[in-house]
Amino acid sequence: MYEWIERDEVDFISTGIDKLDSLLEGGIPKGFFTLILGVPGSGFEILIKQIASNGNTLLFSTCETEEEIMSTMKRFGWNPENLEIVDIASEYAKRTLLVHGKRSSSYQRRIDLDLKELIAECSGGKPIERGEEEDFLNMLSKRFTDSRIPEKTIVHSLDFFLDQYQQSEIIKTLHIMKMSNMKKKGAVFVSLTKGVCGELFERKMESIADCVLELEVIRKGTSFDRYLAVKKMKNYARKIGIARYIIDESGFVLETVERIL
């Protein structure tokens, strides 16, 4: 799906967006774990796809199917040639429909039982049988134990895992991803909807991340202004800044850039 490349002579990995690379003064440092925080309406799902369409990329998609991703990329004219998509969204939808079907059948069967049979069945205490299912969270850590990883790995989005797993389990897996990526000198991007999972978890994520990009939407009268802030960049304080952006037919376009000294 994608080609493996040597990156020993390069200090930074391009986001694929020239002006964002300029704001970052070269791109994302090799081995960095980047958190992308975005409020609803900020278009951060488009930013994710634009980053994914450039370079050798592995994308874990939990909120959109592969078909939806490819359709959006085609609309913007992006080339997904070196992109591998792990379509968790489709797999989860299949499992959900299967479980719903089993529950409906079980409910109908129980309706057909007379009261005596129902009491006898319930008193037996027989546990619900579940099929073998792959652990989506474990899937992430397994892929990072591979001796080869692509230039960029993206998890979009963490919201899905927060609905399925304990926060402590998620944090543990992210630490595994971060340590492995640091060793293999790739770039990891993890997205999270701002304001949904609670401020404490967001702060934990910001402390784990080497780089934090935050997308905000501010209403001004009858219009909206969008801003992308480089909120954190470990060991690169000069890179902290903010830029106004728009989304046009080519994707993210950064406009005025302001450095925070």
Compute mean pLDDT per 10 residues along the chain, 261 residues long, and list them.
46 93 91 97 96 95 96 95 95 80 52 52 48 77 81 96 95 94 95 94 97 95 92 85 93 81 50
> Measured on CA atoms in the order 32, 165, 90, 144, is the torsion positive or negative?
positive
Distance of CA 177 to the CA centre of its chain: 13
CA geometry: angle at 213 spanning 209 and 215, to 5°?
A: 140
What is the assigned CATH class of domain 12-90+147-259? Answer: alpha beta
Q: Where are the domains of the chain?
A: 12-90+147-259
Strands (E), the chain: 12-13, 28-29, 33-38, 57-61, 83-87, 152-156, 187-193, 211-220, 223-233, 241-248, 251-259
- Predicted confidence (pLDDT) per residue in 174-183, tens digit: 999 999 999 9
Q: Which of left, alpha, beta for 16 (phi over 0: left; psi -120 to 50: alpha)?
A: left
What is the DSSP-derived secondary structure letter of residue 42? S
Q: Give the pLDDT confidence score for residue 10 in this predicted structure.
A: 61
Q: Which amino acid is at 126?
A: K
- Predicted confidence (pLDDT) per residue in 89-105, tens digit: 999 999 887 765 555 45
Q: Give the pLDDT confidence score for residue 100 in this predicted structure.
A: 56
Q: Residue 157's closest CA among 53, 248, 40, 71?
A: 40
Dist. CA 107–CA 241, nearest whole Å: 57
